[in-house]
Amino acid sequence: MKRAKKNHPQQKTNNTDRNNAIAQLQNPSLYQSSHSAEQSYALALQHYFESHLPQAEHICRQILQAEPDQPHALHLLGVIAHQMGDFDAAFELIKKALINKPDYSDAHNNLGNVLKDLNKFDDALTSFHQALKIIPNSAEVHNNIGIVLNKLNRLDESVSSYKTALSKKPDYAEAHNNLGHVLKRQNMLEEALESYQKAITIMPEYVEAHQNLGVALQEMNMLDESIQSHSTALKIDPENVATKFYLSLSLLSSGDYIHGLPLFDYRLIHDVESVGTRFFPPPFWDGSNLQGQKILIWGEQGIGDEILYALFFSELISRGAHCYIECQPRLVNLFKRSFPLAKVYPRKEEPDPELLNPNINYQSPSGSLLQWLLAPFEKGEINEKYLLADRDESSVFRSRYRTNGMNKIVGIGWATSFLTEGWDNIPLETFDLLLEVPGVQFVSVQYGEHSAELEASFQRTGVKILEDKEVDPLQNMDSFASQLTSMDLVITLTNSTAALACALGVPTWGISSPIVDWRFGNKSENNLWYPSLRLFRQSDKTDWSSISKDLAQAFKEYLD
């Protein structure tokens, strides 16, 4: 499953301190131009700081008509281009400013910011270090170095840079916030909270710090405090889309679906790329009567999310809707079998022409169905087992695995490509105590190439975990569903494998990080969306022994 997009440290497009800039204007030695050019540049800066960018740009271009190489006008034009999102133009303009004034510290600093946004992180570091040679005590430059080091995953060095920035400027709210972000990535959540709170103390209306504090509190399962933090941010900036989205996650994690689901729609704006937001002509469905109506439902986020949201397709059909479903290609056959009255199409960059039919009345992202269908689901009017595997293929798998007197078939998964920051995949050694139990055929239900790990497990335990090379979940989800249905039990991370096993009605044990994922909830059993799921939550990211013991004890009770 795709995780929620993380909040990034503040990145300041304009890194020129206003007071220093105005003070520089009072020093005629900075310029070899006429006094009128100095006054024009001062006016351009004033417009810039007042967010009158077209006026500032116009004045700078007037200056350059008289002096084409005037570095300060070139630099300010580059800063404006950067702020407007034209990174290539910004690079060329600031680079030209530096050719004409090599010791221009602000230009080196802002060139670093442009290079950072061009994902040229090593070059950005070079520019920032050039700036430090000129202004070694600049807290701002040290902060910017910290941002780039964080992007390069050089986390210890990033922390060091932020701390250096704070030693130069202890009341630097942005640096406190950014330090908190890296500390959270290192799973030092208590220290991260302290940094966010310092940022807020310095700058009480710092929306991003309130957001980051709320995210950290959610990851600590302090959901009431998280909701309060996001609510505070929303009072400061009522239209902030990111805050509304993060608040929705905290509300949903706490089980408050009534207030959380309407805000959850802000995901479609907050992170268009990760969600996979689609753009079709029909209006969004608003929960109105669908009898005889045509509705287009398009899948979103990760494949596990698409599987979860398919929970509601049968309810729409029972209400008389003609459903057109667009999903990931590897889900098409599974969805066609499970929802024979719907029309199912693979998602492509250019949608299938039938999905552009003007007679389609409504559209809905699959995740937005939840808020309109929550009530019937809570009343037990929706079938929790809603996906159907190929029975014949499932029987073949079961016959293949149930050999040599094996009484139970248990699937094991231990890795995912979508990890929450601060949490690692499960070491396969975690299952060693389970492997000691006789009469059980353990089967890998892990996608990807893991033959070396399986061989190491066999050498270590003497027990072979079967790897069925004929099944590839990354290519054929339909065959994978048949394989899972042949299992008596599936034990895996709370990922798409767990979602699919639960949707098929297979008893599933999900191993979860300490961070609450609203889709799997925070209760060990009685999960709202997945009744067949039993959760085993890790309490300490460095300790797998407790999970191993809990699984072994539960497995013994399961077999008795």
Amino acid letter, residue 282: P
CATH number of the domain enclosing 190:
1.25.40.10
Residues 6+ apart with CB under 8 A from 356: 280, 281
pLDDT: which is higher, 191 or 448? 191
Confidence category of residue 27, pLDDT binned at 50, 70, 90: very low
Q: What is the pLDDT of residue 178?
A: 97
**CA angle, residues 104, 106, 112, in degrees to nearest 5:** 105
Q: Is 288 left (phi over 0), alpha (psi -120 to 50) or beta?
A: beta
Are 311 and 232 contained in the same domain? no
Asked if 401 and 486 count as a contact pair (C-beta separation under 8 A), the reply is yes
Q: How much of the chain, in percent, has pLDDT values that exceed 90?
A: 68
Does this model's pTM top 0.75? My answer is yes
Which strand ranges, in their side-by-side order, compose the sheet holding 362-365? 343-346, 322-327, 294-298, 362-365
Helices (H), 431-532: 432-435, 451-461, 477-485, 496-503
Average pLDDT over residues 451-457: 90
Are 84 and 214 contained in the same domain? yes
Residues 6+ apart with CB under 8 A from 178: 9, 10, 143, 146, 147, 150, 162
Are 503 and 432 contained in the same domain? yes
Confidence category of residue 265, pLDDT binned at 50, 70, 90: very high
Q: For the segment 214-239, what is each residue's pLDDT rounded down to a tens digit?
A: 999 988 889 999 999 999 999 999 99
81: pLDDT strictly greater than 80: yes
Q: What is the pLDDT of residue 422?
A: 54
The mean pLDDT of the chain is 88
Q: What is the pLDDT of residue 219?
A: 85
Q: What is the pLDDT of residue 23?
A: 40
Are 368 and 476 contained in the same domain? no
Are 480 and 371 contained in the same domain? no
Q: What is the pLDDT of residue 419?
A: 60
Q: What's the domain range around 340?
A: 294-378
- As beta bridge partners, residue 517 has 521
Average pLDDT over residues 228-257: 94
Q: For the segment 175-216, what is each residue's pLDDT rounded down to a tens digit?
A: 999 999 999 988 898 999 999 999 999 999 999 999 999 999
Are 194 and 106 contained in the same domain? yes
Of 357, 378, 399, the residue that ends a domain is 378
Q: How much of the chain, in percent, has pLDDT values that exceed 70?
A: 90
Of 194, 222, 237, the residue that ends a domain is 237
Asked if 310 and 328 count as a contact pair (C-beta separation under 8 A), the reply is no
Closest CA to 249 of 515, 83, 440, 4: 4
Q: What is the pLDDT of residue 460?
A: 92
Are 53 and 112 contained in the same domain? yes
Q: What is the pLDDT of residue 524?
A: 65
Q: What is the pLDDT of residue 459?
A: 92
Q: What is the pLDDT of residue 486?
A: 96
Number of domains in the chain: 3
